[in-house]
Amino acid sequence: MPIVKNYLRYGPEASYGVIASAEANGVILAPTLVAMPALQDVLIWCTKTGTVAKRLSDGNHVVTCMCKSPTQQQLAVGYHNGDIQIWDYVTGESVVLFSGHRSAVTCLSFSESGTNLVSGSQDTDVIVWDVINESGVFRLRGHKGPVHAARLLEKRNLLVSCSRDSLVKFWDLDTQHCVHTIIAHRAEVNDFILLNNEERIITASADDQLRAWDITYRKAFAKSALVAADMSGQDGADDHGDADGDEVQQTKKAKTEDVDVSASPITTTQVGALTKKGTGRAIHLLVTPDEKCIICQSAGKGVDTFRIRTAAELHKRKARKLKRQKEKGNKEIKAVELTMSDMYPHAGLITCSSPVRSIDVRAAGPDTYSMLAALGSNAFEVYALNRTAKGVTSSRASFLSLPGHRKPIRAICVSSDAALVLTTSNSTAKLWNRITGQCIRTLYDAGYGVSCAFVPGDRQALIGTKEGELKLYDLASGDCLQVEDDAHAQAIWSISLSPDKQGFITGSADQTVKFWQFELIQSEDKMRKTLAIEHTKTLQMTDEVTCACFSPDSRLLAIALLDSTVKVVYADTLKPFLSLYGHKLPVVTMDISSDSTILATGSADKNVKVWGLDFGDCHKSFRAHQDTVTSVCFAGTTHYLFSTSKDNDVKQWDCDNFRLIQTLEGHHGPISCSAISPRGDVLVTGSHDKSIRTWVRTKEMLNVEEEAAMAREQEYDEQQAEQEAREYRAKSGDEEVGVAGKRSLETLKAAEKLMEAVQLAKDHDDKGPGAPAHPMFLAHRVSSGAQFVRVIMDKTPSSELEQALMLLPFALVPTLLSYLLAFAKAEQSVEKTARAVVFLLRLHHSQLIATSQHLDLIAKLQAELPHALSELKNMVGFNLAALRFLRRQLEEQTQVYM
């Protein structure tokens, strides 16, 4: 039997350097708290201190959308895989997980009461979720492109959505069908807002025009809105429309979108357009909470603001226009028309420091607002807005950019004790604490750094720039101790310390390798000595140098050239020793093992080659990645090699057995650089997604064969789930409405557990009361089959219950219904029991009513369930009354009214 070799697993330790990723929107949570997406995490930043107050992290899927609940301290987060997770951002705990979309979630919106959530996705579907019941309500199909925005009109029981297909659709939530479509746009509709008691819609499309439409509702929808307004204490008057009868008259000469107006429950009429001043297409529209301002985000740096004039201001505006017309000689005119610019005048243009990716607004006081602008440069700004009679003034209140690079990370190195990490970018270099992830120092004048290294002692650092400059920095003060302007004529692609720690070499695109030596020189005040570098000799090469490194035994020097070859020379005499040929594209990275016996090279041809340094023979060549290999490094004193690539993956290889050990996934952009600690227990990587990730060696054992088998099994399960999902979608056809959930690997596992539980419970009950308990019953500490089924159902997430019940074979449905009847009689898990009964009856109605035995079971359920639900309702009502009583007592005692 062959000996199985085990390895120690490397796992993710931390991720830092990202302030605000561009894939999702930012949200204002409180006056000093904002939620920003950070790739797969959500960071709760305190704008007052500039620190992270909370990190919401679960999984490795990128955050694509966020929305705050209007009534609870909850944040809905949509992910790239289609999942939606609701977080309590105060405690940092996950409240519920919804799985329904097949691709990235593009928009989220809560209802006014916070009980329902609507989501849109790139899969063109719109799904309505019940937050309280933790389940999906239904799925709406009809758009032919990704859904960009969707909002619930709770008062009118309608839903409005817009998409890349240039359509704006109105959906009736009672019939769950589209009742009206606006088709006048000629390009994608990115967003919309509703004004005038939801009787006017303004849309943002792929141009500089914001188009406005008046909405006329059928009597049933209008009545429902009026009743809702009366219940909330509103009079339903229009603040900037016809508040006093014919105060504002508008001639609606635009076309009506319905073919048969009398048969349509909703009609829309275009009434005009607003012109924004920001460059680029309109991306996002917001209206302030008091409905006094409109804010429009463009594709560039500009954010337009528009004032919404009140009824009094419109009356003055109308009188002024009428007076001007009469002064011009039109004395017979009796009325004038107000244009969209009169109703919503442009109030100002806010120019941010970088292109804006998303905006959010929050009321800060009467006519004052806070606006959050998430920037594409890994930063965000908060502006203070003030609405005046003439416009909207703005001032930047805070700006957070220090804990991250503005551009992709180009070079990285780690200190000898693995406590510090140095990264370089296009204009700055940053020093990080690896343990805490905090940015300790920012070197602003570092230039475009493409290589870097810690000086022995970890108190200074070297940075080589794209312009050929070599800079020496003191890390404690951040001062530049020395600058060699003419170190090289072109970019310095490589810096490698000598094994004796007395000097280093630099390899450059100017076809030279230069040798440098550390020395101590007298400071200007002659009170102390400072570190300096001195050029000693130069090695001229035949082509551009892409990488250079010493062997650990100080005997050899390996130099990679642009002609795809690697030259190995003696380090002392610089005489040629080996020439390594084989790569089809230039070698961009290489490393030598600690025993100086093998050399690993990574190339733009996606291959990693392992060479022997005794004779220059190629031990192994394997296609390591799907894109250019950007870095390779050996782990400590082993022959385990780490390689990174532009395909976003980090891979670990055994260079003795030439096998892949594991793949580390986490980055969401091309990995440009990596570095490993001298002991080989800490690996740090930098990426174009502007994140720095650390991977540490754990004590967990890893078996390559077992990992491969588990990966194949997971891939098979995912393929099966996807195949069943495709078959289900094919059966659904072109139906406008469907089930909210989706079949996935999790729902398949939940269905298997439920089937197993029902079968075990049935077999146990058939044996009689004296039968020995099944081991599964003992594991869950239950004594009967009904209790075991109830435990398994309680552990099934509410969002997966319906899909699990749908996969349950009909042969087990009557048995499960009998157990549900027992739950109803005992008033146990009443809510989930009622949901399961209703869903099963709706799903298998024709089969259940076919036999009298099943009809008797349905009759018993009909008698028991209402009683159990009534008892639950009474208990909830009693508890609410008690809480109100306690609140009143507390208010009387403290004189503080909630």
pLDDT of residue 242: 39
Average pLDDT over residues 182-200: 92
- pLDDT class of 677 with cuts at 50, 70, 90: very high
Mean pLDDT, the chain, rounded, equals 87
Query: Under a CB-based contact definition with an 8 Å cutoff, are residues 636 and 678 in contact?
Result: yes
Whether the CB-CB separation of 480 and 471 falls below 8 Å is answered with yes
- Supply the pLDDT for residue 236: 36
Laid out side by side, the sheet with 618-623 consists of 587-592, 598-603, 607-612, 618-623
Residues 6+ apart with CB under 8 A from 768: none
For the purposes of burial, counting CB atoms within 10 Å of the CB of 529, is it exposed (0-12), middle (13-18) or buried (19 or more)? Answer: exposed
Q: What percent of the chain has pLDDT over 90?
A: 57
Segment 197-216 shows an average pLDDT of 90
Q: What is the pLDDT of residues 45-66, one digit of tens each?
A: 999 988 999 999 887 899 999 9
Give the Cα separation of 551 and 536 in Å (integer). 20
Which tens digits make up the pLDDT trace of 142-162?
Answer: 899 999 999 999 888 899 999
Go through the chain and tell me how many residues it has: 898
pLDDT tops 60 at residue 228: no
SS3 state at 725: helix
* Residue-level pLDDT at 149: 95
Buried b (16+ CB within 10 A) or exposed e, 483-493: ebeebbeebbb
More confident residue, 714 or 203: 203
What per-residue confidence (pLDDT) applies to 422?
96
Q: For residue 510, what are the contacts with CB-CB under 8 A and spacing of at least 6? A: 468, 488, 489, 490, 544
User: pLDDT band at residue 263, thresholds of 50, 70 and 90?
Assistant: low
Query: Phi first, then psi: what are they for 360, rounded to 5°?
Result: -150, 150
Question: Which value, to the nearest 10 degrees, does the dihedral of the CA atoms of residues 783, 788, 794, 795 take?
Answer: 110
pLDDT band at residue 258 under the 50/70/90 scheme? very low
Per-residue pLDDT at 605: 94
Mean pLDDT of 415-419: 93
DSSP assignment string, 31-54: TTEEEEEETTEEEEEETTTTEEEE
Among residues 727, 716, 719, the alpha carbon closest in space to that of 806 is found at: 727
Please state the rounded mean pLDDT for residues 119-124: 93
Superfamily of domain covering 409-540 = YVTN repeat-like/Quinoprotein amine dehydrogenase (2.130.10.10)
Residue 260 pLDDT exceeds 50: no
- 193, 201 in Cβ contact below 8 A? yes
- Would you state the pLDDT for residue 225? 46
**Count of C-beta atoms within a 10 Å radius of residue 311:** 16
What residue type is assigned to position 821 of the chain? L
Q: Is residue 536 over pLDDT 90?
A: yes
Sheet order of strands, 200-205 included: 189-195, 200-205, 209-217, 266-275
Mean pLDDT across 774-778: 82
With tokens 């999984």, the residue in question is 59
pLDDT for residue 42 is more than 70: yes
Please check the confidence at residue 268 and state whether its pLDDT lies above 70: yes
Q: Is 823 helix (H, G, I), strand (E, B) or coil?
A: helix
252: left (phi over 0), alpha (psi -120 to 50) or beta: beta
Whether the predicted pLDDT of 223 surpasses 70: no
Give, to the nearest 10 degrees, the angle between helix 813-826 and helix 830-843: 150
410 vs 220 pLDDT, higher one: 410
Number of helices (H), then strands (E), belonging to the chain: the values are: 12, 57
Give pLDDT, residue 373.
95
Write a three-state SS string for 811-838. HHHHHHHHHHHHHHHHCCCHHHHHHHHH
* Alpha-carbon span 325 to 397, nearest angstrom: 44
pLDDT value for 253? 36
Q: Which residue has the higher pLDDT, 222 or 786?
A: 786
How much is the average pLDDT of 888-897?
83
CA distance 668 to 714: 22
* Window from 22-26, 126-130, 779-783 with minimum mean pLDDT: 779-783
Q: What is the pLDDT of residues 839-854, one digit of tens each?
A: 888 888 888 888 888 8
pTM of the model: 0.84
pLDDT value at 805 more than 90: no
pLDDT (mean) for 718-741: 70
Give the integer Cα–Cα distance in Å for 820 and 183: 49
269's enclosing H/E stretch is strand 266-275
The pLDDT score that the predictor gives to residue 227 is 41
What's the pLDDT score for residue 729?
A: 62
How many other C-beta atoms are found inside a 10 Å radius of the C-beta of residue 363?
13
Q: Are 869 and 834 in contact (CB under 8 A)?
A: yes
Say yes or no to pLDDT of 693 above 80: yes
pLDDT (0 to 100) of residue 220: 58
**Pair of tokens at residue 790:** 């109830």
Choice between 761 and 466, residue whose per-residue pLDDT is larger: 466
